[in-house]
Amino acid sequence: MNRFAAVVCITVFLAPAFTLSAETLQITQIDSSSLLLSQSVDLYVSLTDDTGTPLKGISGDSFQLFESDDPDTFSEPMLIRSLAPNPHESQGLSILLLMDNSGSMYDTLSGDPTGDPALMRTTYARNALRTFVGSSFHAGDSVSFATFNTNVVLHADEAGDPVVMDMLLSGIRRPGTDESYTELYHALADMALPVGERSGRRAVIVLSDGEDYSYATHSGNPHPIYGNQQLSPDEVVEEYIRNGVTLYAIHFGLEKDQYLGEMALKTGGAVYDAKDQEELTGIYHDIRQKIDGEYLIRYRAGMFPADKTYVKLIHKSPEGNSEAVRYYYTSTMFGRPVVPFPWKIFLILPAVLLIWLLLLLIRNRTFHSDAALRILRAGYGTKISSATIAIQQEKTVIGGGEQADLTLSGRGVPHDRDVTIVFDKQQKNYTIVGGAGVSVNNQPLKGERRLSGGDVLNIEGTTIVFEEPDEGKN
């Protein structure tokens, strides 16, 4: 018997599953991104037995699916186009690991202050994440990592490499007094959009040792970013449903946020309690096991003229039927769903795509006589001083310090950890020098490395391309 258990709720709209048998059916994610183009909707479905183990060998004939714009009325069943087991084996998984880094995470498991890192909750949490990343992900998966306290910091879009994850975890510092608050709801809402922009199965796993404890409410001052804005649990849930992201919540400590479990269940996820590192490690693996055991059901949508569409899924078995109900937001054009499907859109899309490609080529075709750094994407919450900077001196400094030539500023950028690019005039080469928080071509930077044209640098979440001088230019 596992030493951990998910909190279970039997209300249909509080938890997205209801069962009349020993099995549990849950719609974990709804992807309506293909609704306009192919009138298809994808359901990710979890079907488990009474021990929580995913059921295998289920056929599409055992499912019945309904749609409606009224949650109390479902009529004709919809056409199920396909059912695929273990869809993540072919399409991968996009997952964001969100960890509490508030002041209480540096106490012991029993909540007592300590100066011994080996006894701190954060140490157990980091060890569990190291184990999880080192043993649970595949080549096609995308793993991101973020922490939160008073601020939210997205440390890396790609943290699936155990070496990268270890580097990121080792670089997390203890928050100061003004950083020790717990902006749990803002952190959850902030992470829904970047994860939702990815394709396929998408999830956020949050670990928190307490309740939402906002800076504005408890300090008496506006938050530097959020001001006096307060998010409700329902607003956070709506962010996840609109972006098609599942939330899994882990309570790790004596105190719990009273709404976090309900929020996770409403998004198609689950909520867990962990008392120590062993249970925490087991929970992460249990979440991955359940996701791996899911089915992907693709069906022909009804295209109701409404903003919100409800889906009812029934699984029929000799032991009894189980059912789940959830809703998604309909893709719209000019404010309303388009019925019937506008096939002429296929004449417009190629022209738009061609124009976009031409503009992209013109934009990225730059000539310069000096080596240069070009920003591809700023890190989450990071501001940059320039989109492109020429390397004309022996040392070019990048970072948050006052002496930086290319300044990165934001809540996740340290002010005391700069990166330097050194130009050797005699050898005509360029070397990057740095440490924690820096990678080159997805490889952590250890000390220094010679750069070549086209190298991709990631500095505190900001993606930069190194460009060599164009030949023949003065």
Q: Spell out the SS3 assignment of the chain.
A: CCCCCECCCCCCCCCCCEECCCCEEEEEEEECCCHHHHCEEEEEEEEECCCCCECCCCCHHHEEEEEECCCCCCCCECCEEEEEECCHHHHCEEEEEEEECCHHHHECCCCCECCCHHHCHHHHHHHHHHHHHHHCCCCCCEEEEEEECCCEEEEECCCCCHHHHHHHHHCCCCCCHHHCCECHHHHHHHHHHHHHCCCCEEEEEEEECCCCECHHHHHCCCECCCECCCCCHHHHHHHHHHHCCEEEEEEECCCCCCCHHHHHHHCCCCEEEECCHHHHHHHHHHHHHHHHCCEEEEEECCCCCCCEEEEEEEECCCCCCEEEEEEEECCCECCECCCCCCCCHHHHHHHHHHHHHHHHHHHHCCCCCCEEEEEEECCCCEEECCCEEEECCCEEEEECCCCCCEEEEECCCCCCCCEEEEEECCCCEEEEEECCCEEECCEECCEEEEECCCCEEEECCEEEEEECCCCCCC
Q: Is residue 231 part of a domain?
A: yes
Residue 428's pLDDT is what?
85
216-234 per-position pLDDT tens digit: 999 999 998 889 999 999 9
One domain, residues 122 and 109: yes
375-403 per-position pLDDT tens digit: 877 765 567 777 788 888 888 888 877 77
pLDDT at residue 334 tops 60: no
Q: How far apart are CA 79 and CA 300, in angstroms?
A: 5
One domain, residues 54 and 94: no
What CATH number did the domain enclosing 424 receive?
2.60.200.20
CB of 30 within 8 A of CB of 41? Answer: yes
Q: What percent of the chain has pLDDT over 70?
A: 84
Q: What percent of the chain has pLDDT over 90?
A: 45
What CATH number did the domain enclosing 188 receive?
3.40.50.410
Residue 177's pLDDT is what?
87
The structure's pTM equals: 0.69
One domain, residues 53 and 118: no
Residue 366's pLDDT is what?
47
Q: Summarize the confidence of residues 260-265 as an average pLDDT.
A: 97
Residue 90: band (very low, low, confident or very high) from pLDDT cuts 50, 70, 90: confident
CB of 192 within 8 A of CB of 244? Answer: no
**What letter represents residue 4's amino acid?**
F
Q: Which domain holds residue 425?
A: 371-467
Residue 474's pLDDT is what?
37
Q: Is residue 9 part of a domain?
A: no
Least confident of 198-202, 349-353, 422-426, 453-457: 349-353
Q: Is residue 364 part of a domain?
A: no
One domain, residues 127 and 259: yes
pLDDT at residue 188 tops 90: yes
Q: Summarize the confidence of residues 206-215 as an average pLDDT.
A: 94
Least confident of 79-93, 162-176, 440-454: 440-454
What CATH number did the domain enclosing 53 receive?
2.60.40
Top-confidence range, 28-37, 154-163, 276-285: 276-285
Residue 190's pLDDT is what?
93
Radius of gyration of the chain (CA): 24
One domain, residues 77 and 23: yes
One domain, residues 67 and 101: no
Residue where one domain finishes, among candidates 287, 308, 337: 287
Q: Is residue 262 part of a domain?
A: yes
One domain, residues 166 and 183: yes
Q: Summarize the confidence of residues 2-10 as an average pLDDT.
A: 40
99-140 per-position pLDDT tens digit: 999 999 999 999 999 999 999 999 999 999 999 998 888 777
One domain, residues 100 and 245: yes
- Supply the mean pLDDT for the chain: 83
Q: How many domains does the chain have?
A: 3
pLDDT at residue 326 tops 50: yes
